[in-house]
Amino acid sequence: MSQPAHLSGVTVLDLASVGPAARCTRILADYGATVIKVAPTPRKGALQTQPAYWAYSAGRGMKRVQIDLKAPAGKAAFLRLAAAADVIIESYRPGVVARLGIGYDDVRRVNERIVYCSTSGYGQDGPASQWAGHDLNYLAVGGYLYCGGRRADGGPALPGATVADSAAGGMHAVIAIMAALLRRHATGSGEYLDVSVADGVLFFTSLYVDQYLATGVKPGPGHDILTGRYAFYDLYQARDGKWLAVGAIESAFYRNLCTALGCEHWIPHQTDDARQEEIRAAFRAAFATRDRDDWVTELAPRDTCVAPVYSIEELTNDPQFAHRRVFVEALHEQHGRFRQLGPVMAGIDRSPATYAAPGASRTDTAALLRQAGVPAPEIEEMVKQGAIA
């Protein structure tokens, strides 16, 4: 007999269409929560933030309502849904939900058990709280960019993924929400969560922040193992132009690597700062003699901490990921069938499945309001007024 999903019975209202909050609810939905995306009603000439149909896993497993939160009837409809919800997550600029009349205090009056999560770039208070920003900005202020690699002109390199949105914001919110739900189970009370993406980035750079605060050492590119100080933790190009990632930190792994590359004479000099450029040159010369995948086949199983630097296209065909069943099929109402990344967090069922991906025009508003106890005539009147769709 199969077990219920971890968050079965938990209802989440999601007021965001993109960014950290949308990353968060993607994970919550994969763990079994009923996620209801709250979108604005269609308006003639109105511009709405609408992600591409394939983004955020194409909304698989989620419901959708369309509500005009500025209309009194729309606000009332939202609060009817909120009264039966467990979690609300929003990503407006600080202060906006309170002005709309749907903030934590407003919802708490109809639902004392609500876990209300606000995600923002810099937090709900402080001198930077009203700053606009995106992923790159939060990685910048949190020291992440400064300690990373450099471009040819000496500037910090652009990151290869939306690390701040996905983890410092999205996963940060997931952890906070799950912890709040656990505490609510014990106390019966909900709570307000102020998730700052910039705060979350500090957790990523905490090794360096704590090192500076404790020792006065100023971290930056090349200051230590993880920022490029040593040749054994670096990237090297193979004969075919593709790249390999080398992370042979432990002495045993470094010894295995040097032996396999014919660089045994460099084994005693692993952390000798004066010899690092010579070691890098030797590693570059060795890796340049064979193609990337040949090196991976030889080195990866030999405790050398070597891995291929995959393109996105390559990783979608990797046998390890295929074995882990991380890719699934989606069937979209307008765009048909396509592959996508499936649920990948630990504990989620990865049984092969085809997921239904709803179109952007779909709405579950009337059905969900009926479920919340709103009489049919009231729903019809709200539709006529344009408060819901």
Q: pLDDT tens across 157-169, in order?
A: 999 999 999 999 9
- For residue 120, what are the contacts with CB-CB under 8 A and spacing of at least 6? 91, 93, 94, 129, 194, 195, 196, 197
pLDDT tops 60 at residue 193:
yes
pLDDT tops 70 at residue 45:
no
The beta strand positions in the chain, using DSSP E, are 11-14, 34-39, 63-66, 87-90, 115-120, 191-196, 233-237, 243-247, 306-308, 327-332, 336-341, 354-357
Query: Could you report the per-residue pLDDT of 224-252, keeping only the tens digit for each?
Result: 999 999 999 999 999 999 999 999 999 99
Domain at 282, CATH number? 3.30.1540.10
Domain membership of residue 247 as a residue range: 225-237+243-308
Residue 380, helix vs strand vs coil: helix
Is 213 contained in some domain?
no
What rounded mean pLDDT belongs to the chain? 94
Q: Are residues 110 and 232 in the same domain?
A: no
User: How confident is the model over 146-152, as a mean pLDDT?
Assistant: 91
Is 316 contained in some domain?
no
Query: Could you report the per-residue pLDDT of 76-98, keeping only the tens digit for each?
Result: 999 999 999 999 999 999 999 99
Query: Could you report the per-residue pLDDT of 161-191, keeping only the tens digit for each?
Result: 999 999 999 999 999 999 999 999 999 999 9
Q: Are residues 286 and 353 in the same domain?
A: no
So which residues are the catalytic ones?
A: 134, 165
Is 216 contained in some domain?
no
pLDDT tops 80 at residue 360:
no
Q: Are residues 144 and 65 in the same domain?
A: yes
DSSP label at 302? Answer: G
Q: Are residues 134 and 260 in the same domain?
A: no
Question: Model-level pTM greater than 0.85?
Answer: yes
Amino acid at position 251, single letter: S
From CA 383, how far away is CA 389, in angstroms rounded? Answer: 6
Q: pLDDT value at position 326?
A: 94
Q: pLDDT value at position 50?
A: 79
User: What φ, ψ does residue 66 adopt, rounded to 5°?
Assistant: -120, 115
From CA 363, how far away is CA 387, in angstroms rounded? Answer: 13
Query: Could you report the per-residue pLDDT of 280-301, keeping only the tens digit for each?
Result: 999 999 999 999 999 999 999 9
Is 212 contained in some domain?
no
Q: Are residues 342 and 380 in the same domain?
A: yes
CB count, 10 Å around CB of 346? 5
Is 220 contained in some domain?
no
Is 321 contained in some domain?
no
